[in-house]
Structure 1
């Protein structure tokens, strides 16, 4: 990497932004780093600055779903997007990659993985971890499709499922996601139907079985 690159780190936690910024500046001195903590901040900065790469928190305020990618691409179709999340790759990575992201990086990765992910996206346009690559190859060789029942859920259904499993009630979920309680109830019904469970206890058991597989 010899060119100079403009990178935007979008995460609502200052400690995360500062930490990633320090790691990248140390290992990739030919970069210029900007920061923001909301999706609106991303879109506003893109209007005045052309970025080579956006490191995008999967839970960024104002976004929280794959539609973030569509909004960003609406301003700059060529910008590279590296999703940044603590959520499991098995459940989330392909959703965002299929929606147009260039890579998916787990926040629990070490410094070398962060640098490698950024370097690869900037130079080759793509990044997936070795563990995800192995899973995809294994699934392909064994003709495996949808082995994890949680993969039947949409992004919003998966998000609400997590909140249910973590003890949130319908009202708390509605307030947390800024949606109507009736909408939560509708999603809850869909989730139970898709996963063939009858209550939150059974849903939690399913998550224990599959979310780390």
Structure 2
């Protein structure tokens, strides 16, 4: 029996995946979580076979969380879950130890195939994402993914491009420093980059900064 746990901050997604796997022989969903802390507390005493991990979490960077779990619990096979099919997200997840990557609109059959594949020790990517990575490696241009930003994220992105610190951004926009830090993390996740330099470069490339 393949023991699966799921981390996603959207209840509908959790319920949807649970429903798809409910009648699947050989796979059981032992627990679900909507935040990273609860999952990490659980892992102190339990070791699932497969973790379905949302990469866009409000209080945690899913990509960084993937790296931590992989190093701390190497026996857990992680599949990243995302609405984004940008190759930078896929590469960052795989670099941080994920064995697979699925879009949240995946089919039941593909979800089950992915779980069984990573459980067996292999990696899994849907064909559409494999093709996208292959095209990129040969320099074939595909439609560029443009992250959907909120008005606040757009404001903070502009402030970051002006080299303002978190404190300066907070003062300018009349919000707390913690809120700025949270938006920064979300921007890094949405663009699939690791640092501010990468964020600015991607934002210019995608035409979101002038």
Aligned partner of 1:178 in structure 2 is 182
- Aligned partner (choices 192, 201, 208) of residue 203 of structure 1: 208
Report deviation, 1:99: 1.6
Alignment map for 1:53-64 (pairs within 5 Å): 53-64=50-61
- Aligned partner (choices 97, 108, 111) of residue 111 of structure 1: 108
Aligned partner of 2:4 in structure 1 is 7
Residue 125 of structure 1: SS of its match in structure 2?
coil
Gaps of 5+ in 2: 157-172, 189-194
Give the distance between the partners of 1:129 and 1:90, measured in 2 at CA: 12
Give the distance between the partners of 2:183 and 2:209, measured in 1 at CA: 23
Residue 12 of structure 1: SS of its match in structure 2?
coil
Instruction: Return structure 1 stretches of 4+ with deviation > 6 angstroms.
Output: 187-190
Residue 208 of structure 2: SS of its match in structure 1?
helix
Seen in structure 2, the aligned counterparts of structure 1 residues 81 and 136 have a Cα distance that, compared at 3 Å, is same
Report deviation, 1:125: 3.0
Aligned partner of 1:166 in structure 2 is 150
Seen in structure 2, the aligned counterparts of structure 1 residues 132 and 32 have a Cα distance that, compared at 3 Å, is closer
Contact kept, 8 Å, 2:77 with 2:98, in 1: the verdict is yes
Q: Deviations over 1:25-65 (max 9, x none)?
A: 22234424211111111111111111101100112343224
Residue 124 of structure 2: SS of its match in structure 1?
coil
Aligned partner of 1:129 in structure 2 is 126
Aligned partner of 1:52 in structure 2 is 49
Gaps of 5+ in 1: 152-160, 206-213
Give the TM-score taking structure 1 as reference length.
0.69
Give the distance between the partners of 2:197 and 2:29, measured in 1 at CA: 47
Seen in structure 2, the aligned counterparts of structure 1 residues 125 and 60 have a Cα distance that, compared at 3 Å, is farther
Give the distance between the partners of 2:34 and 2:203, measured in 1 at CA: 38
Give the distance between the partners of 1:126 and 1:173, measured in 2 at CA: 41
Higher helix content, 1 or 2: 1
The count of aligned residue pairs is 181
Instruction: Note if 1:35 corresponds to 2:32.
Output: yes
Report deviation, 1:91: 3.4
Contact kept, 8 Å, 1:59 with 1:65, in 2: the verdict is yes
Give the TM-score taking structure 2 as reference length.
0.70
